[in-house]
């Protein structure tokens, strides 16, 4: 069985859409309150990471929550977040637009996060088999 399939991609996009709304709204509100690119980004991703673990462990990859998956998820979020920061500051340097830069950084984060989650945080051997 491959380490991810169409079902995981579809559920990641659906569950991730909800999580993106939560995280993006948090980033936007924090950006308006603080007017600080880093504060709004960090705060939004902390909120999004917490909701994301709940969504992706139960809905996207259908794995039981455990200390092991939580630790792997946290590490993956950290890696993905540093990719996000690199994209954020690169995009801001090129465009000078805070919210556009946040959106570009989010795309980088989502791509890296999905690939690493599917392979390492919620591996195939932990997933519940689909019902026939």
Predicted local confidence at residue 20, as pLDDT = 86
**Residue 122: per-residue pLDDT:** 82
Please report the pLDDT score of residue 4 as a whole number.
63
Indicate the Cα dihedral angle 81, 84, 90, 96, nearest 10°: -110
- Using CB atoms within 10 A of its CB, is residue 41 exposed (0-12), middle (13-18) or buried (19+)? buried
**Residue 94 pLDDT:** 98
Q: Name residues of the chain where pLDDT drops below 70.
A: 1-4, 124-132
Q: For 63, left (φ over 0), alpha (ψ -120 to 50), or beta?
A: beta
Long-range contacts of 22-27 (CB under 8 A, 24+ apart): 22/47, 22/48, 22/51, 23/47, 23/48, 23/51, 23/52, 23/106, 24/102, 24/106, 27/102
The ranges assigned to domains in the chain are: 6-122
Cβ neighbours of 127 (radius 10 Å): 19
Cβ count near 69 (within 10 Å): 21
- pLDDT of 132 reads 44
- pLDDT, residue 128, reads 63
């Amino acid at each position: 069985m491959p380490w991810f399939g169409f079902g995981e991609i579809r559920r990641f996009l659906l569950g991730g859409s909800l999580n993106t709304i939560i995280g993006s709204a948090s980033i936007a509100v924090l950006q308006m309150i603080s007017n600080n690119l880093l504060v709004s980004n960090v705060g939004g991703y902390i909120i999004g990471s917490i909701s994301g673990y709940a969504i992706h462990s139960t809905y996207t990859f259908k794995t039981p929550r455990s200390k092991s998956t939580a630790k792997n998820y946290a590490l993956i979020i950290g890696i993905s977040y540093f990719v996000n920061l690199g994209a954020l500051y690169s995009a801001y340097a090129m465009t000078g637009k805070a919210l556009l830069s946040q959106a570009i950084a989010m795309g980088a984060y989502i791509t890296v996060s999905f690939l690493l989650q599917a392979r390492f945080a919620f591996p195939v051997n932990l997933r519940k088999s689909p019902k026939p």
